[in-house]
Structure 1
């Protein structure tokens, strides 16, 4: 089984781009398991929001509709560390991060979470861009 971690924030467009990247991979759908992770800014002991993030819901639905095996997980601050801990816990094969819309010069720069995951990950990290 090929395990992919897809950390999403609350931006539906970025999450959709991440899901689309996963769906475009040349794999046998039955051999792929996706864990959609959402970062909360509270600690693990704080109450979670009553409603699920729309980005999480959209990503999970899109991947499940395509026949992929999907689970949801929460990660906490520091977010990059939480993502990397999840990757290790799941023995994941890759991570698909979401890229922000940026100017041509800004495309070489990533947000701090994305940059930390790229630099510290032991597995390949893909940054899926939002197409405008």
Structure 2
């Protein structure tokens, strides 16, 4: 039924719960699991108001985000490996919902599994969650996993 399943992760507890479901679904369908971490544009609030960050500061922030992404995708890959599920790890830059949908299109993803609340939690509800945007615009089924 599913050959390629995408599980976006941000390293949050909600993403970890969705990952468990995605791995099980991939195992049941003998599917390849794609794990995607999206590095969002650097928030200017990380630096003092009015201060122009030095290039080294920008590089440090980007390096920190890349390390977080590598850790998050490696964690999913380890769980998948425990279940003999093939994994493709990816880190992209941009708006999470756009990158998730674009990745799904580019890689022939058959289903997306994601948590209902990531790192930003309730605060993101004001502008609309990443999951909600993906559900509304996805051409493939999206399985949403609610954190208990």
TM-score (ref. length: structure 1): 0.76
Q: Indicate the residue corresponding to 1:9 in structure 2.
A: 10
Q: Distance in 2 between matches of 1:38 and 1:75?
A: 6
Q: Indicate the residue corresponding to 1:40 in structure 2.
A: 39
Q: Indicate the residue corresponding to 2:88 in structure 1.
A: 71
Query: Which has the higher Rg, Structure 1 or Structure 2?
Result: 2
| 1:1-132 paired onto structure 2 within 5 Å | 2-11=3-12, 13-25=13-25, 27-28=28-29, 31-42=30-41, 47-49=62-64, 51-53=67-69, 54-100=71-117, 111-131=128-148
Unmatched 5+ stretches in structure 1: none
Report SS of the residue matched to 1:21.
helix
When structure 1 is superposed on structure 2, of 82-91 and 57-66 the one drifting more is 57-66
Q: Distance in 1 between matches of 2:14 and 2:73?
A: 11
Report SS of the residue matched to 1:86.
helix
Report SS of the residue matched to 1:5.
strand
1:95-115 Cα shifts (integer Å, max 9, x gaps) = 0111228xxxx8xx7952111
Report SS of the residue matched to 1:42.
coil
Between structures 1 and 2, the one with greater helix share = 2
Q: Distance in 2 between matches of 1:90 and 1:32?
A: 13
Compute the displacement of 1:124 (Å): 0.1
Cα RMSD for the two superposed structures: 2.6
Runs of 4 or more above 6 Å deviation: none
Unmatched 5+ stretches in structure 2: 43-58
Taking structure 1 as reference, are residues 123 and 48 closer, same or farther at Cα in structure 2, changes over 3 Å only? farther
Q: Distance in 1 between matches of 2:67 and 2:23?
A: 26
